[in-house]
């Protein structure tokens, strides 16, 4: 066995070992990126779903409790983002991301006639 054959054999071994490691990691950690941190959610909405009244819905979007709580604190309770983030126990950047996602979802649903479903993400 010459040097190139040994080198190719080692490359194949490393490649197979890497594939096995990635497969195991995907089974143990199926999500992408970091896991969402715990948030201090103090709301439990009366309605879990809003459906357009004047026509049949054309789709569905999902708003999480954490996004709804972030919107409530900033837009209804008039807290600053720093105060709202502190109250939820998250960073200001995470709060900003939740607010941005929730606003985009709600506007999309209102414009396109989607059903808005509110689900509890604290148990996910």
Query: Mean pLDDT, the chain, as a whole number?
Result: 77
**Residue 65 pLDDT class (50, 70, 90 cuts):** confident
Whether 40 has a pLDDT exceeding 60, the answer reads no
18: pLDDT strictly greater than 80: no
Mean pLDDT of the 34-45 span: 61
Residue in this structure with the two tokens 């941005």, named with its chain if needed: 100
90, exposed or middle or buried, with CB in 10 Å at 0-12, 13-18, 19+? Answer: buried
Segment 68-93 shows an average pLDDT of 91
Distance CA 77, CA 46 (A): 18
State in words which class domain 49-119 has.
Answer: mainly alpha
What is the per-residue pLDDT for 45?
73
What is this structure's pTM? 0.64
């Amino acid at each position: 066995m010459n040097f190139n054959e040994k080198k190719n054999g080692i490359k194949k071994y490393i490649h197979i070992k890497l594939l096995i490691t990635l497969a195991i990691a995907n089974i143990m950690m199926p999500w992408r990126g970091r896991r969402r941190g715990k948030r201090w959610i103090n709301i439990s909405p009366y309605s879990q779903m809003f459906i357009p009244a004047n026509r049949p819905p054309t789709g569905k979007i999902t708003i999480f409790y954490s996004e709804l709580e972030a919107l409530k604190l900033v837009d209804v309770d008039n807290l600053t983002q720093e105060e709202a983030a502190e109250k939820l126990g998250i960073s200001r950047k995470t709060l900003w991301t939740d607010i941005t996602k929730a606003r985009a979802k709600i506007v999309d649903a209102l414009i396109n006639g989607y059903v808005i479903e509110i689900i509890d993400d604290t148990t996910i």
